Amino acid sequence: MTPQVTPALRRATADHPTLLRSAGAVLAGVATGLGQAPAGWWPLVIPGVAALTLLVGRVRPRTALGLGYLYGLAMFTTTIWWVHVVAWPAALVLIAFMACWSMLTGWGIRMVQGLPLTPLWAACVWSAAEVGAARVPIGGFGWVRLAWTAVDTPIAGTLRWIGVTGVSLLVALAGQLLAETVRPRTGHGQRGNGERRANDSRGRLSGRMVPGVSLVAVLVVASLAGEWTVGWADRQVSQEPTGPRVMVVQGGVDGTAGSYAMGYARSVTQNHLSQTIAAIAAQRAAGEPAPDMVLWPENSTDIDPVKDFQTRTLVTTATRIAERPILVGAVTEGPGPDERQTTAMWWPVDAQGPTGVYHKRNLVPFGEWIPWRSTLLPLLPVLAHVGRQSVPGTGPGVIEASIGGRRMTIGDVICFELAYDGTVYDTVRNGAQLLMVQSNNATYTRTGQPYQQWQITRARAIETGRQIVVSTTSSLSGLISPGGQVRDRTAEGGHAWRMYTVAIGSGVSAGVKASPVIGLASVVVAVLAVLVGVARSGWRPWRRGAGLG
């Protein structure tokens, strides 16, 4: 059978080269997506980026749009398929929309081909698309970025110096240099005399050497800087003032309920009270030092403890038993009728209410709120289980608290907010000495989402230069060092408690300062380079351009 099929396949692919390119775009997208957690196959990322560049390099611009879209469909399906837990239509719409950014990336890379320093402009195109995807529309969705794949690589430490945007640009540049190195070169006059053939050969070799050497240089320098930074960051922790002992409580939530996992509102609060009691009992029985504070996760109570007496009693009981203040994650009423907010509450011992609050700024579309609610809800009744419309907060995620007799500033990032640069950066810009993450991943139990979020948290630890303490309702709580190493992590889908002594951090890292500047610069450079490429090619969307495909 093989001798019969192979010639037919060869004829088909020869007659339809677009089929091969389309298949290649899908495979490249899958490869890039597998670099993200939970797979974490980071060696595939740079080749995946390079493959897209090679595929769009010599095709018509409109074909580059299509190939970029196929690449994006494959990459985002590989990475964010877990959105189907909320609703299958939401997953399909989100993946289809996010692929539009990859479509623009493919087209932009095609339009800058042939310009001097092409790899640099193409890398800026990639970076600009990431910046746009993290902001547009409805606040953006920056969950899938090249920088997240770098956390377990030798270049991870560069997050401290150039931030998430800079590292994404660095990985994209490596992909462009790889593409330039392996790109087929076509010589002129191969049928001419031997001297001309020799000149063509030397020219092609020279054309490969420059980007090849540049690629090696970029990776070597970035790796050396990254490895040194990781070691330096960890040594720095030992020199920082010793901070509070933080008891992390993971109360446990039934994740089998899927998108309805948090429906057992009061039982979730009872779980966290019970686990706090168990943790305090174990600590006292072992004769270990008492905690200075207790950290509960996001949605540790889905009923407003300020307005509901029974829930308030559960919280105050926990503070009295622990004899320590608790940072509570709560769903609160208001600010308007039939509205809610996801809130962090600093609740001291014997207090009947919080003395400091932070309202979550970046909300999950179709998870915490419904965009265009009046239009979409009648069309997709399944979205009704999202419940009341959540309202975002407006202030930075910092809470002033008295911990162990010392006045400290807690930087708090709530779950989905980890993907938003400005929200994370505002914590350290506003003096956060301790950085904590409260999260509820119960809805996504046994999917890739908790592991992707953990990977993002590790990147943020390196970038901000802070230890990060994480508390979740039912998965992957723990402690991450400023070098991104996992010092401790709980198992998924259960209840647990941990005790960590946390160092007090200070200052704003170079990465936090540089990342917004790099993002803006990459957008400006990408737009200008694409405009030059369009003008140079004379391309019009209604005209057939030169090239294959």
* 203 pLDDT higher than 70: no
Whether residues 528 and 461 fall in one domain? no
The pLDDT value recorded for residue 246 is 98
The pLDDT value recorded for residue 254 is 67
Whether residues 333 and 437 fall in one domain? yes
The verdict on residue 176 lying in a domain is yes
The verdict on residue 325 lying in a domain is yes
% pLDDT > 70, the chain:
88
The pLDDT value recorded for residue 411 is 98
- Count the neighbouring beta carbons within 10 Å of the beta carbon of residue 205: 10
| 488 vs 492, more confident | 488
* Domain CATH number, residue 310: 3.60.110.10
| pLDDT tier, 204 (very low <50, low <70, confident <90, very high otherwise) | low
The pLDDT value recorded for residue 547 is 41
How far is residue 485's CA from residue 3's CA, in Å, rounded to a whole number? 53
* 16 pLDDT higher than 90: no
The pLDDT value recorded for residue 13 is 46
How far is residue 45's CA from residue 32's CA, in Å, rounded to a whole number? 5
The pLDDT value recorded for residue 262 is 45
The pLDDT value recorded for residue 259 is 46
The pLDDT value recorded for residue 9 is 44
Q: Kindly report the average pLDDT of the chain as a whole number.
A: 89
How far is residue 166's CA from residue 161's CA, in Å, rounded to a whole number? 8
**Tokens matching residue 124:** 């800026």
**Tokens matching residue 44:** 């595939």
**Tokens matching residue 367:** 């998870």
Average pLDDT over residues 482-510: 94
Number of domains in the chain: 2
Reported as half-sphere exposure (CB side, CA atoms, 13 A), residue 387 has a value of 17
How far is residue 371's CA from residue 426's CA, in Å, rounded to a whole number? 25
Whether residues 288 and 419 fall in one domain? yes
- Please calculate the CA angle 365-366-367 and round it to the nearest 5 degrees: 90
Average pLDDT over residues 363-377: 81
The pLDDT value recorded for residue 546 is 42
How far is residue 83's CA from residue 65's CA, in Å, rounded to a whole number? 25
The pLDDT value recorded for residue 205 is 57
The pLDDT value recorded for residue 12 is 47
Contacts of 301 (CB under 8 A, 6+ apart): 265, 268, 269, 272, 311, 314, 315, 328, 329, 330, 331
| 137 vs 77, more confident | 77
Average pLDDT over residues 473-481: 94
* Out of 9-23, 256-270, 432-446, 459-473, least confident range: 256-270
Q: For residue range 210-247, list pLDDT tens digits in order.
A: 889 999 999 999 999 999 999 898 888 877 888 999 99
Whether residues 302 and 422 fall in one domain? yes
* 342 pLDDT higher than 90: yes
| pLDDT tier, 3 (very low <50, low <70, confident <90, very high otherwise) | very low
Contacts of 469 (CB under 8 A, 6+ apart): 246, 248, 295, 434, 435, 436, 437, 478, 479, 500, 502
Whether residues 284 and 321 fall in one domain? yes
Task: Determine what percent of the chain falls in helix, strand and coil, rounding each to the nearest 5.
Answer: 55, 15, 30
**Tokens matching residue 175:** 């992909």
The pLDDT value recorded for residue 201 is 58
The verdict on residue 543 lying in a domain is no
* Out of 14-28, 128-142, 265-279, 333-347, least confident range: 14-28
- The C-alpha R_g of the chain, in whole angstroms, comes to 26
The verdict on residue 305 lying in a domain is yes
Whether residues 229 and 374 fall in one domain? no
* 542 pLDDT higher than 70: no
| 206 vs 338, more confident | 338
Whether residues 265 and 136 fall in one domain? no
| pLDDT tier, 402 (very low <50, low <70, confident <90, very high otherwise) | very high
| pLDDT tier, 87 (very low <50, low <70, confident <90, very high otherwise) | confident
Average pLDDT over residues 38-47: 97
The pLDDT value recorded for residue 383 is 74
pTM over 0.85: yes
Burial of 188 (C-beta count, 10 Å sphere; 0-12/13-18/19+): exposed
Q: For residue range 289-314, list pLDDT tens digits in order.
A: 999 999 999 999 999 999 999 999 99
Contact 355, 325 (CB under 8 A): no
How far is residue 449's CA from residue 85's CA, in Å, rounded to a whole number? 11
* Out of 184-193, 236-245, 384-393, least confident range: 184-193
The verdict on residue 548 lying in a domain is no
| pLDDT tier, 364 (very low <50, low <70, confident <90, very high otherwise) | confident
Whether residues 139 and 27 fall in one domain? yes
Which residues, listed in sequence order, are joined to residue 471 by a DSSP beta bridge?
438
Task: Give the DSSP H/E element, type plus range, for residue 302.
Answer: none
Whether residues 205 and 81 fall in one domain? yes
Average pLDDT over residues 65-88: 94
Average pLDDT over residues 361-365: 90
Domain limits for position 152? 14-186+195-235+512-537
- Picking from 292, 490, 259, the residue whose alpha carbon sits closest to that of residue 364 is 259
How far is residue 142's CA from residue 417's CA, in Å, rounded to a whole number? 10
Whether residues 230 and 284 fall in one domain? no
> Tokens 């503070």 appear where?
319
Task: Give the DSSP H/E element, type plus range, for residue 368.
Answer: none
* 549 pLDDT higher than 50: no
Whether residues 221 and 276 fall in one domain? no
Contact 279, 246 (CB under 8 A): no
- Count the neighbouring beta carbons within 10 Å of the beta carbon of residue 363: 23
What beta strand segments (E) does 334-385 contain? 339-347, 356-359
Whether residues 326 and 178 fall in one domain? no
* 186 pLDDT higher than 90: no
